[in-house]
Chain A
Amino acid sequence: MTDQTSTPTAVSALDAAPPRPRWQVILIRPETMTFVLLVLAFIVSSSISPYFLDINYILSSFTLYAEFSIVALVLTMVIIAGEIDLSPAANMALSACLFAWTYQATQSMPLAILVGLGAGIAMGAFNAVLVIGMQLPSIIVTIGTLTLYRGLAQIIAGDQSIRLPDYFIGINNDLWLGVPVPVIIFVVVTIALAFFLGATIWGRQIYQIGTNEVAAQHAGIRARRIKFMLFLAMGFASAVAGMMTASRLGSVRYDLGLGGELQMVLMAMLGGTYIFGGRGTILGTFLAAWLLSVISTGMLTAQWLPATQLCVLGLLLIISIVATNLIYSRTQR
């Protein structure tokens, strides 16, 4: 974890306040809140159902949310860079549909995977061209492409589901050292991205772009190129997540991952990513993904209606941005 909040800046003598004690700095970070909430969620849900004391149950229930979580990690970097992407769930659907469709047509798995990944990257590139090349606001652009990608998936797949071969199905049941493969992928991606964002020059430049893009450009940072790469990474991650979902479900329909943009944005927000850019960590999103998985599984175990769960997710999104904004406005002083 970095101590970006305690960076001293040039201030007049009147403004200079004594530095906060270290424990306060740590305590006031949004990630700490997420961690506390995670512990609370565990306590509450294990009092509802004893299953939550079983690590295998938690790991296997997380495979339902692993795909969105992986994309949410990349989305965190996009939001830190000051942009947003609402289209990844639709991207997942379209790349999975193209993947399954190619497999059905050619019976060649490598070709199908290539097509799926290529489609995902192409969709990311399309977003990037509109947002960075054409200088359009990313929120509206990705609302447009969200509708477009989902619609194209609907045209390709129609109302049927496309079956996949048996050997491809069931990535969520594959264990490696007793841990489901999607969880391992998620953890590996987390470590890689946390290193990238926290300890490499490009990662630190992403923070600078999000804090003040004009200043970053004047400081010689290639803001446009970095943001372009981020949108490409978004497309790639969505395509991978789409294929993982296809493997888990065993077949592909156009409504794969429907409404996923809410969960992904929610994970980033719950993890303390600042919606206006420049702040946030991969660790926060990592914790938030587990938090959301525990909450969702807890609601499932308690047999709440899907509609109630939708309400809870919507409310959580609003509460988490309000809370994150409050925390950041306090630490800014």
Chain B
Amino acid sequence: MNALRSILLRRETGIAVMIVLFVIAVGIAKPRFLSLEYLRIILLLTPLIMIGAMGQMLVLVARHVDLSIGSTQAFAAMVTAMMFKFHPEIPWYLGFLVSIGVGLGLGFVNGALTTLFRLPSIIVTLGTLNLYRGLTFIISDARQVDRQYIPSALKAMSTTSPILGIPWIIFMALGVALLTYWFASHTRVGRQVFALGSNPAAAPLRGIRVNAITLMVFSISGALAGLSGIMYASRWGFVNPSNTGAGFEFQVIAAVVIGGVSINGGVGSVLGVVLGVLLLGCVSAALPLLGIPGTAQSAIYGAVIIVALLIDRSVRQRGIAALAAQRARA
């Protein structure tokens, strides 16, 4: 009975229930939503957000925010796409190394600025958000890299599949999620991220190297944004200096906070974030079907962030009340 209660009370269960209810509600209104075709649409909407969300989750758990991932994604994608354009002889899989490497570098800059000068990460990344976007325009001369320059093997990653008709990029996103799960829950460094986020003042006293951990989470977030950059090129077949990654940070933050990652640091699970991404994917896929114009997307992301914050608050207060009750009984 107790085990059942603890499962039911878990945050992840709540999100899963929300997904099921949402799918059923939309399915009643538009039965087409329950088809395999729509499952495919939903799944194809998620991989980029999923990968960005894994990095953002670690950053939020460490009590920071990374607003620059959209621009990081654009810059890494642009560097890679221009490499393909001007050096078509380079094998396509090296693009992954380049894109991840560029992202890692940009993320490292964010982390270095945050730790070196003890600045709030939100302001630093608000600055680099614009800086990286501007750099993307400069290196690309404000021109889009078109379809014909992206290697077809790379584009095929989003259309061909190893098994069950599920494209490669979805497997890659799942792989990243599994790796993050292993890192966050089963490595010493991963647990230190959580320790740092739950109590930044106590963490150094326990021998946690705060600066190193902070640098690391920003670098991971940047590297994953870089990976999502080359996957953008694969998924859409072009890289545009103004469209690529625009608003990506808001989608990712919405997915992460609805997945139960606390903005006060120290709390979050990979499973919750995966479910949060899926819920967001379901909502995005259902909108056009329900006849809601695409212009409503941004408003919905904003509303989702705020609702998730309110849920987070009530969960936290219930936790505090439960602790107090426990102490009163003891």
A contacts, CB < 8 Å to B:
84, 86, 130, 134-137, 139-141, 143-152, 154-155, 158-159, 254, 259, 261-262, 265, 269, 275-276, 305-315, 317-318, 321-322, 325-326
Contacts and interface: CB of A to CB of B under 8 A. Distances in A.
A318 B299 contact: no
A310 B134 contact: yes
B296 interface: yes
B142 interface: yes
Contact of B295 (A84, A144, A159): A159
A307 B313 CA distance: 39
B215 to A, nearest CB: 16
A168 B10 CA distance: 56
Nearest to A259: B130
B298 interface: yes
Contact of A311 (B126, B134, B247, B298): B134
Interface in B241-258: 241, 247, 250, 253-254, 257
B263 A315 contact: no
B202 interface: no
A321 B123 contact: yes
Contacts of A261: 126
B206 to A, nearest CB: 25
Contacts of A308: 134, 138
A135 B313 contact: yes
Interface stretch (B112-120, B154-162, B181-189, B270-278): B112-120
A322 B118 CA distance: 9
B315 to A, nearest CB: 13
Interface stretch (B81-89, B193-201, B302-310, B322-330): B302-310
Contacts of A146: 302
Contacts of B218: none
Contact of A314 (B117, B130, B296, B300): B130
A305 B138 contact: yes
A139 B131 contact: no
Given A135-B313, A140-B65, A321-B119, A147 B301 contact: yes
A309 B293 contact: no
Contacts of B124: 318, 321
A321 B124 CA distance: 9
Contacts of B142: 305, 307
Contacts of A154: 295-296, 298-299
Contacts of B306: 130, 141, 144-145, 148
Contact of B117 (A148, A150, A306, A325): A325
Contact of B298 (A139, A151, A262, A317): A151
Contact of B299 (A130, A135, A155): A155
Q: Sort A-B residue pairs by CB-CB distance and give the 5 closest, nearest first.
A: A151-B299, A148-B302, A307-B137, A314-B131, A147-B302
B16 interface: no
Contacts of A311: 130-131, 134-135, 138
Given A130-B306, A314-B132, 9 more contacts: A130-B309, A143-B65, A147-B301, A148-B305, A151-B296, A159-B295, A265-B123, A307-B136, A326-B117
Interface residues of B, number: 47
A158 to B, nearest CB: 6
B128 interface: yes
15 contacts: A137-B263, A137-B264, A140-B253, A140-B309, A144-B309, A145-B306, A147-B298, A148-B298, A150-B298, A151-B296, A151-B298, A154-B299, A310-B137, A314-B134, A322-B113
Nearest to A263: B130
A222 B303 CA distance: 30
Contact of B126 (A136, A137, A262): A262
A310 B75 CA distance: 14
B309 A322 contact: no
A106 to B, nearest CB: 24
Contact of B137 (A148, A152, A159, A305): A305
B302 A144 contact: yes
A261 B130 CA distance: 11
Contact of A322 (B117, B134, B241, B295): B117
A165 B323 CA distance: 61
A97 to B, nearest CB: 12
B285 to A, nearest CB: 18
Nearest to B142: A307
A322 B302 contact: no
Q: Which of A141, A144, A145, A259 has the most CB of B within 10 A?
A: A144
A151 B294 CA distance: 10
A161 to B, nearest CB: 14
Contacts of B303: 144, 148
A99 to B, nearest CB: 18
B127 A314 contact: yes
A8 B313 CA distance: 41
Given A154-B298, A322-B117, A147 B134 contact: no
Nearest to A306: B137
Nearest to A150: B298
A145 B250 CA distance: 11
Contacts of A143: 65, 67, 250, 253, 305
B11 interface: no
B313 A265 contact: no
A140 B305 CA distance: 9
Contacts of B300: 151
Given A147-B250, A151-B299, A311-B138, A141 B309 contact: yes
Nearest to A149: B302
B235 interface: no
Given A305-B142, A308-B134, A314-B127, A148 B309 contact: no
